[in-house]
A and B are shown apart, each in its own frame.
Chain A
Amino acid sequence: MADKNTVLSIKNVSKRFDELQVLDDISLDVREGGLVSVIGGSGCGKSTLLRLIGGLDSPSEGTITINGKEVKAPSRKVGFVFQDHRLLPWLTVSDNIKFALDKTVDNQDEIVDKNLKLVGLEGFKNSYPSQLSGGMAQRVAIARALANEPDILLLDEPFGALDAMTRITMQDELLKIWEEKKVTMILITHDIDESIYLGEQVVILSDRPGKIKKIVPISKICHYERNGSEFARTKKIIYKEFFKEREFDVGYVI
């Protein structure tokens, strides 16, 4: 059960929209500095779960606590990265990051510089989002989410809209940030490879209503070797939760 290292604690959470049951009895603890990926098919309620953690919606039943405090409304202490970068097109990169900061923060420029450096975008302070590529814009969104030094970073399919090559680079970047900042992260994804490569554990949600089907612990080696045998073995375990493998009948092969 919850020990003192637990940052996020989800207890028996269900969510209904009118008659539609979206999440059913979800319980999950995430330790400080943990990185949990949540995977499920489309419409399984994984984004809803993240919105509940972020305080954008409230659960129909159950409680969610962050650092012992129940989540009732969104907080700056919870960073949110959406699938679309959601930068304000009329603000420069620097002003977009400042948008997330409270006006009582004095060293705003310093915070902007520090976080842009973290995501490798020094020198783009005065660019407008329309001048950035999709990957760069998503980096700014991550920098913005980290600007408030959040207790927990929620990522809702953050690389889903990026091309395959950029996605791999961004996954590496995210791991680097995670190791450097030691910030707790919850990553929603529908990409099995991504869930293994980034997660310390992969939470598999079943389809409608979303229920925790299985929690697969991921060996650390998977964060280094995308093509290793451990990665392939883990992938097979998760794959089987979603799809049946076709039988290959070798009987007639001479």
Chain B
Amino acid sequence: MEVTFKKNKVAKKRSAFPVAKAIGSAFLYIALPIVILIVWEIVCHAGVVQVYNMPAPEIILKDAWEKITAGVLWKHISISFLRVLEGFLIALVAALVLGILIGLSKTIERITELTLQILKPIPPIAWIPLAILWFGIGESSKLYIIFYGAFFPILLNTVDGIHNIDKKYLELGRVYEVDRLKLIRKVVLPGALPQILTGIRVGLGNAWVCVVAAEMIAATKGVGYMLSNGRSMSRADDVILAMLLIGIVGKIMDDVLKLISGKIMKWS
């Protein structure tokens, strides 16, 4: 009997010059940032803007180089990153556990519903004053803000992911008398996984936003501190450099998570 593999994905159109196509695609990817940098540089040299408020890219690059050679830049980034990682991991575990419980039990969902609905609209930044009152200006208050920022996206997506599982798979479980534990392991969790991973990506992004906010208010290190310190020193180059770093690190973290997601969901 003849059996053939069906191609999982639609075969991409073959280009006559695959390398040329890849280069073209890479060029499109970086073209816009380069144009922005060039225009920015020209605008600064033409004297259209005040250079001490809006330094040219070369000034920022010089600033970055000084900070890299002095070892300060790496210190700021790593301290912010470690804070995010810590708060994010705590949030991940807590949100997954609670999310699975809520997703599986109507009773737990009902019990927690009102509380969560009221807490959800309070932005993490609004917690900063209370967090400082509670935990002081040390590490704990920052961790709390980061935790809070990462927690809700992961929780809500986990619950949604579980609720949205195709009912026909649950029916399949009934047909084969699959017990509850096996159903959770083999159907509920993998079925909800795509949405849980989405929640994790949003959560990590939020955590990164929160670390900046927390560090701007009370810190002596970190990218958020770079921002607020730059402002008080009237160093626009420091401020812009910190902003760019926040963007670049955030993008890299998201890329890494996307890569991990693809590896976990190897069936699709």
Partner-B contacts on A (CB < 8 A): 54, 56, 74-76, 78, 80, 82, 84, 86, 88-91, 95, 99-103, 120-121, 124, 128-133, 136, 148, 169
The CA of A78 and the CA of B175, in the complex, are separated in Å by 8
Residues of B within 8 A of A100 (CB): 176
Task: Pick from B11-19, B65-73, B85-93, B182-190 the stretch touching chain A.
Answer: B182-190
The residue among B1, B176, B179 with the most chain A CB atoms within 10 A of its own CB is B176
Pairwise interchain contact A90-B3, C-beta atoms closer than 8 A? no
* B90 → A minimal CB distance (Å): 28
- The answer, yes or no, to whether B267 is at the interface (CB within 8 Å) is yes
Enumerate chain B residues within 8 angstroms of A130, measured Cβ to Cβ. 8, 267-268
Chain B residues with CB under 8 Å of A121's CB are 3
- B5 CB contacts on chain A under 8 angstroms: 131, 133
Chain B residue at minimal CB-CB distance from A122 = B3
The one of A86, A89, A95, A129 in contact with B168, judged by C-beta atoms closer than 8 angstroms, is: A86
- What is the total of A-B residue contacts with beta carbons within 8 Å? 66
**Interface pairs A-B: 6 shortest CB-CB:** A90-B190, A100-B176, A133-B6, A128-B267, A90-B267, A80-B175
Size of B's binding interface in residues, CB under 8 A: 26
Whether B6 lies near A91 (C-beta < 8 A) is no
New A-B contacts (11) at CB < 8 Å, excluding given A90-B265, A91-B190, A132-B6: A54-B175, A74-B174, A75-B177, A82-B168, A86-B172, A88-B172, A103-B182, A124-B3, A130-B267, A133-B6, A169-B1
Q: Mark B25-52, 1 if CB is under 8 A from A, else 0.
A: 0000000000000000000000000000
Which residues of chain B from 182 to 209 have any CB-CB distance to chain A below 8 Å in the complex?
Answer: 182, 186-187, 190-191, 193
Contact B176 A136 (CB under 8 A): no
How far is it, in angstroms, between the C-alpha of A89 and the C-alpha of B171 when the chains are bound? Answer: 15
Residue in B3, B8, B191 whose Cβ sees the most chain A Cβ within 10 Å? B3
Distance between Cα atoms of A243 and B20 in the complex (Å): 62
B169 at the interface (CB under 8 A from A): yes
Does B260 belong to the interface (CB within 8 Å)? no
**A169 vs B5: C-alpha distance in the bound complex, in angstroms?**
17
The distance from the CB of A156 to the nearest CB of chain B, in whole angstroms, is 11
In the complex, what distance in Å separates the CA atom of A76 from the CA atom of B168? 17
CB pair A91–B182 under 8 Å, yes or no, is no
Please give me the residue from chain B that is nearest to A130 by CB atom: B8
Asked if B4 is at the interface of the complex by the 8 Å CB criterion, the answer is: yes
Contact between A99 and B6 (Cβ–Cβ < 8 Å)?
A: no
Chain A residues near B169: list those with CB within 8 A: 86, 88
A99 to B6 CA separation, bound complex (whole angstroms): 24
Given A128-B267, A133-B6; A84-B175 close (CB under 8 Å): no
**Residue of A at shortest CB range from B189?**
A90
Cα–Cα distance between A99 and B266 once the two chains are bound (Å): 19
